[in-house]
Amino acid sequence: MKFATEYLWFDTDRPREYINITDDVARVVRQSGILEGMVLVSAMHITAGVYVNDAEPGIIRDIDEWADSIAPQGPDYHHHRTGETNGDAHLKSLLVHHQVVVPITKGDLDLGPWQQVYYAEFDGQRRKRLVVKAMGE
Amino acid sequence: MKFATEYLWFDTDRPREYINITDDVARVVRQSGILEGMVLVSAMHITAGVYVNDAEPGIIRDIDEWADSIAPQGPDYHHHRTGETNGDAHLKSLLVHHQVVVPITKGDLDLGPWQQVYYAEFDGQRRKRLVVKAMGE
Amino acid sequence: MKFATEYLWFDTDRPREYINITDDVARVVRQSGILEGMVLVSAMHITAGVYVNDAEPGIIRDIDEWADSIAPQGPDYHHHRTGETNGDAHLKSLLVHHQVVVPITKGDLDLGPWQQVYYAEFDGQRRKRLVVKAMGE
């Protein structure tokens, strides 16, 4: 049985940003030598998400505006009594989910033609990370 | 270590449809001979979802109406500048998530009494697929 | 290859409750002797969720109020024609998702500093359970 664990770091220019990490995940899998298995891609912060969707710039803007309409930035979160200002980012993380599992088949990511793995930063401009964990044979 | 990979294909009559695939997933697991492990069920399109919930027809209608109220069909998506018309389906996919992992215990799906695995088609009437990947011993 | 399967039971005082189960999940992993792998934490009911987020009481209240604004308790669900009254709880389960996978690295949960695993009860005051399934080596 083989395992690979790698941490990807991000420090975005903007508070909210969407970064295509498909190639990074594919590289971890290829370097692991795993031919059959699964790879977990999981944010290690509670104000970020990981999702699978399209690389088309319009849909990325739609996702951003949609997430901000469902979980709007604003002052009125109980969480802000701690001095924090990122209550919305916690809810956005729950909305899109913080992780995906990608199947590994014949040594590569078994994704559909338009599926790309995205890191969704909802409270950026500081160093944050996610874990890529592959497991198989 | 054992693996099984199978692709399920769909071509729905309606644009949005909810298909109970529990028996298909259970069949893949039984045929694999895996007694302990996990099975990943993951849509391979970015306009479909996979979720675990109830087979009761009323709740399926509730889920459909709810998803369409949270991510409504309509003309006003940036994504539509590409000529596409399915922006809502991308967001619905994020809302319900595109995948689940079901534990395998004693050779069968380890689900609660009311849990059923559903394929949620949000942009149908064409051939689409999902991957079932089981892994264990 | 090693496996561990454990069921956690809940019987909450209130209809909606958020229970930190990180220590329970970590205990299952440590007792399993698994050093590298993954652990699935998955609700076995269709009116409960499992998510990873912060233990800060304010954000838990925000999550509760947010979930109830996105999928409000109320009489107007088709599901209620069956005599049920918990349509909202099904939708809340879909919203926050019913499961997470936590990577296991060096024998312990590989979580970020603020990440805690939560059981989200959306229709409580009765006995319900979730499954913790660890797998690895």
The answer, yes or no, to whether residue B37 has pLDDT greater than 90, is: yes
> pLDDT value at position C105?
98
The answer, yes or no, to whether residue C64 has pLDDT greater than 90, is: yes
Check C52 against A46: CB less than 8 A apart.
yes
Alpha-helical (H) ranges within chain B are 22-32, 57-70, 87-96
Residue whose token pair is 């290690």: A44
The answer, yes or no, to whether residue C53 has pLDDT greater than 90, is: yes
Chain A nearest CA to B46, separation (Å): 5
Cβ neighbours for B127, distance < 8 A, ≥ 6 positions apart: B9, B10, B11
Percent of chain C with pLDDT over 90: 99
> pLDDT value at position C16?
98
How many CB contacts within 8 angstroms connect chain B with chain C? 87
> DSSP per residue over B47-84, as a string?
TEEEEEE---HHHHHHHHHHHHHHS--SS--GGGGGT-
> pLDDT value at position C75?
82
Of A56, A103, A137, the CB nearest to B40: A103
Structure tokens at B107: 């050779």
Residue whose token pair is 């980012």: A89
The answer, yes or no, to whether residue A75 has pLDDT greater than 90, is: no
- Tell me what the mean pLDDT of segment B55-80 comes to: 96
Kindly report, residue by residue over A95-117, the tens digit of the pLDDT. Answer: 999 999 999 999 999 999 999 99
Check C38 against A135: CB less than 8 A apart.
yes
How many CB contacts within 8 angstroms connect chain A with chain C? 87
A8-37 burial, b if ≥16 CB within 10 A, otherwise e?
Answer: bebebeeebbbeebbebbbebbeebebebb
Structure tokens at A95: 């909305």
Best CA proximity match to C63, nearest among C49, C77, C74, C75: C49
Kindly report, residue by residue over A37-56, the tens digit of the pLDDT. Answer: 999 999 999 999 999 999 99
In angstroms, the CA A95 to CA B95 distance is 6
Q: Are A39 and A134 in contact (CB under 8 A)?
A: yes
Best CA proximity match to A36, nearest among B34, C40, C102, B135: B135
In angstroms, the CA C92 to CA A121 distance is 23
Residue whose token pair is 């109220």: B69
In angstroms, the CA B101 to CA C42 distance is 9
Q: Which SS3 state, helix, strand or coil, does residue C62 take?
A: helix
- Tell me what the mean pLDDT of segment B106-113 comes to: 97
Kindly report, residue by residue over B118-134, the tens digit of the pLDDT. Answer: 999 999 999 999 999 99
In angstroms, the CA C132 to CA C5 distance is 6
The answer, yes or no, to whether residue B75 has pLDDT greater than 90, is: no
* pTM of structure: 0.98
Give me chain C's average pLDDT, please: 97
Mutation target for B interface from C2, C25, C39, C44: give the one with most B CBs within 10 A. Answer: C44
A39 in reach of chain C (CB within 8 A) = no
